[in-house]
């Protein structure tokens, strides 16, 4: 496996089986090994990646597409760049609407969906574009979904099922869009790029702000806020096919995260100077509360890691302002703290709703995770729950992407 990431980086290097590369304010690419010798080194031309000398790169999101390309959005350049994983060069540049930020991959349709903010602020004037044949070797371009009354829809949020779900035979055909202060959803046909229906959530006083999709039971789990005040109104559970509300958790606030096997839901509820992680089991009858864990860590990001004691997953969470990583056993509730992972990037330097300290696991068959610090990347061994290594000379890394590499 290999890893790509975004950063202000000094020099780019690669290493063997598990590796890391980063994009950043300085347009260089780096990939370090978790194995042995350095295999290659490359620097991309500043003018091509970031523009004129002296202009820093600004990265929105980065995703792995077909294990062939890394797509990375550049909001302040109004474009998405496509990097060949093998060649480690930019092979295509796709023009977009203003300020492209969020990227979503739909593998079974070979699409990348783009949410363009059209502003430096996270408001409800965003547009949606789609890149078809995203994993193919060709010149790429964007199309808009079908207009409504002759106009492209302006949305607040776009929610597409994650490609990380293990039940690959379950092909999600729909996503959802939300609008500012509207208590409801618009269902998107991902194949035909058009809206199919609206879902009224007024009886539940729910403006959806985060959505997770469970492939196992066809559930849609959303975080709800009250319009205008943004007061939490709990969680709603929908049936994915009928859009019928089948469960409510009005007293459960926070951001939901779903495990790749669709069996566990971890909800992060942030309050002043502390956080609560609420663990629920996903069943055919809905969500069943397991336990919650309170921590004084200000949680930045959450990832899942294959459990060593069950056939499911455990959770790791990074801290916004401490040099710690929290491990949570999702079966027993056991907590451990991994220390010494460096100071996080200051919150004031993060943009585009990115966490200041992302943490990314390498998937079902990888034992490593990577989390950026302010001046380095830290590789965590999930089996031993220790710091495996530190990769220095990286300035303000902001995003990481895992890919699979063939070793000959």
Q: In angstroms, rounded to a whole number, what is the distance separating the alpha carbons of residues 355 and 270?
A: 13
pLDDT digits (tens, 9 = 90+) for 216-242: 899 999 999 999 999 999 999 999 999
Question: 371, 389 in Cβ contact below 8 A?
Answer: no
What's the mean pLDDT when you consider all of the chain? 86
Question: Token pair for residue 87?
Answer: 């060649």
What pTM does this model have?
Answer: 0.90
Q: What is the CA radius of gyration of the chain?
A: 20
pLDDT of res. 28: 39
pLDDT, residue 234, reads 97
First to last CA, the chain: 13
Rounded Cα distance, 284 and 351, in Å: 38
Residue 330 C-beta-side C-alpha neighbours within 13 Å: 30
Show Cβ contacts of residue 342 under 8 Å, excluding neighbours closer than 6 positions.
323, 373, 374, 375, 376, 378, 390
Alpha-carbon span 45 to 62, nearest angstrom: 19
> 2-403 belongs to which homologous superfamily?
YVTN repeat-like/Quinoprotein amine dehydrogenase (2.130.10.10)
Name the residue ranges covered by the structural domains of the chain: 2-403
Q: What is the dihedral of CA 369, 320, 105, 87, to 10 degrees?
A: -60
Residue position matching structure tokens 């929908």? 238
Give the pLDDT confidence of 307-354 residue by residue, as tens digits.
Answer: 988 889 999 999 999 999 999 999 999 999 999 999 999 999 999 999
Q: Give me the pLDDT at residue 36, please.
A: 27
Q: 1 near 400, Cβ under 8 Å?
A: no
pLDDT in tens, 266-312: 999 998 889 999 999 999 889 999 999 999 999 999 999 999 888 89
Report helix, strand or coil for 14: coil
Is pLDDT at 14 greater than 90 in this prediction?
no
């Amino acid at each position: 496996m290999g890893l790509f990431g975004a950063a202000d980086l000094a020099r780019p290097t690669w290493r063997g089986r598990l590796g890391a590369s980063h994009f950043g304010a300085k347009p260089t690419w780096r990939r370090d090994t978790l194995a042995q010798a350095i295999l290659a080194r490359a620097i991309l031309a500043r003018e091509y990646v970031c523009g004129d000398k002296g202009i820093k790169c600004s990265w929105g999101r980065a995703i792995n597409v077909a294990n062939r390309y890394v797509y990375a959005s550049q909001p302040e350049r109004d474009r998405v760049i496509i990097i060949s994983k093998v060649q480690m060069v930019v092979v295509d540049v796709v023009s977009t609407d203003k300020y492209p930020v969020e990227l979503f991959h739909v593998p079974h349709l070979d699409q990348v969906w783009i949410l363009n903010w059209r502003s430096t602020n996270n408001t409800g004037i965003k547009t949606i574009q789609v890149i078809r044949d995203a994993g193919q070797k060709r010149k790429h371009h964007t199309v808009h979904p079908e207009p409504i009354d002759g106009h492209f829809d302006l949305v607040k949020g776009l929610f597409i099922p994650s490609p990380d779900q293990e039940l690959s035979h379950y092909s999600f055909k729909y996503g959802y869009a939300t609008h500012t202060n509207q208590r409801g959803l618009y269902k998107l046909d991902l194949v035909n790029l058009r809206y199919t229906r609206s879902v009224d959530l007024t009886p539940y006083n729910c403006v959806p702000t985060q959505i997770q999709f469970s492939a196992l039971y066809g559930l849609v789990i959303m975080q709800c806020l009250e319009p205008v005040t943004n007061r939490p109104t709990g969680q709603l559970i929908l049936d994915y096919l009928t859009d019928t509300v089948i469960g409510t958790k009005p007293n459960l606030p926070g951001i939901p995260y779903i495990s790749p096997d669709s069996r566990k839901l971890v909800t992060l509820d942030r309050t002043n100077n502390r956080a609560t992680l609420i663990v629920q089991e996903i069943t055919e009858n809905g969500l069943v509360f397991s336990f919650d864990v309170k921590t004084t860590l200000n949680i930045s990001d959450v990832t899942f890691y294959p459990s060593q004691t069950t056939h499911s997953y455990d959770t790791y969470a990074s801290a916004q302002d401490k040099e710690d990583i929290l491990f949570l056993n999702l079966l027993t509730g056991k907590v451990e703290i991994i220390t010494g992972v460096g100071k996080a990037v200051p919150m004031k330097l993060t943009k585009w709703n990115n966490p200041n300290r992302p943490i990314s696991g390498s998937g079902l068959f990888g034992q490593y995770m990577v989390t950026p610090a302010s001046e380095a990347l830290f590789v965590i061994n999930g089996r031993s729950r220790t710091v495996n290594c530190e990769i220095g000379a990286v300035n303000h890394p902001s995003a990481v992407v895992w890919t699979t590499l063939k070793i000959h």
